[in-house]
Amino acid sequence: MKSDKIFKYLLFSASFLVIIVAAGMVFTLSSGAIPAFKEFGLKFIISNQWNPTEGRESYGALPFIAGTVITSVIALLLCIPLAFSTSLFIAEYFYKKRVAMFLSTMVDLLAGIPSIVYGLWGFYVLRPFIVELGLSPQGYGIFTASLILAIMIIPYATSLSSEIISMVPNDLKEAAYAMGATRLEVIFNVILPNARSGIFASFILAFGRALGETMAVTMLIGNSNIVPTGLFQTGNTMASVIANQFGEADGLKLSSLIAIGLILFVITGLINAIGKLIIKKLA
């Protein structure tokens, strides 16, 4: 029927639009980045220069790539024990009990806090705390940023992990209990092997999330354009350098920032794709 044909065509066009948007994004980022790559070649990726002075402009992405990866890795390491414990709490120890529902809601709320609020809290509460502990003179740096990042990605790791853990078949667990295993032993010998890839995927996705975080990190990392060499040194990430330096940027500097955006886009895209692939394999 004619009206049906029109309707189907409309839906199809809308879907095609998504593909165009995605392709357009790749195209726009690439073409915006070309001037920078033309000028600096692929060395852009491993160069740690960041010199905006006229006449001697030289830009490189290394400090920011390093900063992004280091903070995200540390954040992930900090997040793993917390997220794992919380998902065990929700999906195993107190499964379907009221307290688990409560915890689950709290974790959801964690996910809803805007990045800038995390940054504020990190700045006004965490930072002085770090200074008090004597770990760093001003409290800025890789560690503080990673810490706040870890808190921010916990919900993403937890919600997927707890779902995976709750899906481990009961009869497997019961067989182990029937042989006298303790709960701990069931967790590490039955649940974990079974849920391994799903939990792994949840951490990968959390990692992908951490890579792209902007505001909270910007406010805590110190914004120095160097490759960090110590846990409490300051640094910078791809997302925050774009946010900070975008304001008056043009020409080569703008192109370099866009190039950094492209690199960030590619890295997060890859990580997320890997995570989703693992989940698909599970289904």
Segment 102 to 161, residues that bind another protein, using CB under 8 A: 103, 106-110, 112-121, 123-125, 151, 154, 158
With CB under 8 A as the contact rule, the residue among 48, 166, 197, 272 that binds another protein is 272
Tell me which residues in 200-259 interact with another protein (CB under 8 A).
Answer: 205, 208-209, 211-215, 219, 239, 242-243, 246, 257-258
Q: Which region among 37-45, 47-55, 179-187, 193-201 touches another protein (by CB under 8 A)? A: 179-187
Task: Select 122 or 228, whichever has its Cβ closest to another protein.
Answer: 122
CA–CA gap between residue 49 and residue 199 (Å, rounded): 39
CA distances from 226 to 62, 85, 210, 213, 233 (A): 8, 35, 20, 19, 10
Nearest Cα to Cα of residue 231 among 118, 62, 75 = 75
Q: Does 264 bind another protein (CB under 8 A)?
A: yes
With CB under 8 A as the contact rule, the residue among 45, 69, 73, 82 that binds another protein is 82
**Residues in contact with 272: Cβ distance below 8 Å, sequence separation at least 6, in sequence order:** 204, 205, 208
Give min distance, CB of 97 to another protein, in A. 13
Q: Does 199 bind another protein (CB under 8 A)?
A: no
DSSP 50: E
Task: Select 117 or 230, whichever has its Cβ closest to another protein.
Answer: 117
Binding mask 24-63 for another protein (x = CB under 8 A): xx--xx--x-------------------------------
In single-letter form, the type of residue at position 178 comes to A
Task: Count CB-CB contacts under 10 A for residue 48.
Answer: 14
With CB under 8 A as the contact rule, the residue among 137, 169, 251, 269 that binds another protein is 269
Give min distance, CB of 135 to another protein, in A. 19
With CB under 8 A as the contact rule, the residue among 71, 86, 144, 225 that binds another protein is 86
**Torsion angles phi and psi, residue 223, rounded to 5:** 50, 50
Give min distance, CB of 162 to another protein, in A. 11
Q: Does 88 bind another protein (CB under 8 A)?
A: yes
Q: How many residues make contact with another protein (CB under 8 A)? A: 81
Task: Select 42 or 184, whichever has its Cβ closest to another protein.
Answer: 184
Give min distance, CB of 56 to another protein, in A. 26
Q: Does 184 bind another protein (CB under 8 A)?
A: yes
Q: Which region among 49-57, 135-143, 192-200, 271-279 touches another protein (by CB under 8 A)? A: 271-279
Q: What is the DSSP string of 181-238?
A: --HHHHIIIIIHHHHHHHHHHHHHHHHHHHHH--HHHHHHS----S---STTS----H
Residue 58 parent element (H or E) = strand 58-59
CA distances from 216 to 79, 101, 131, 155, 160 (A): 16, 28, 18, 16, 23
Residue 73 parent element (H or E) = helix 62-88
Long-range contacts of 243-250 (CB under 8 A, 24+ apart): 243/214, 243/215, 243/218, 244/218
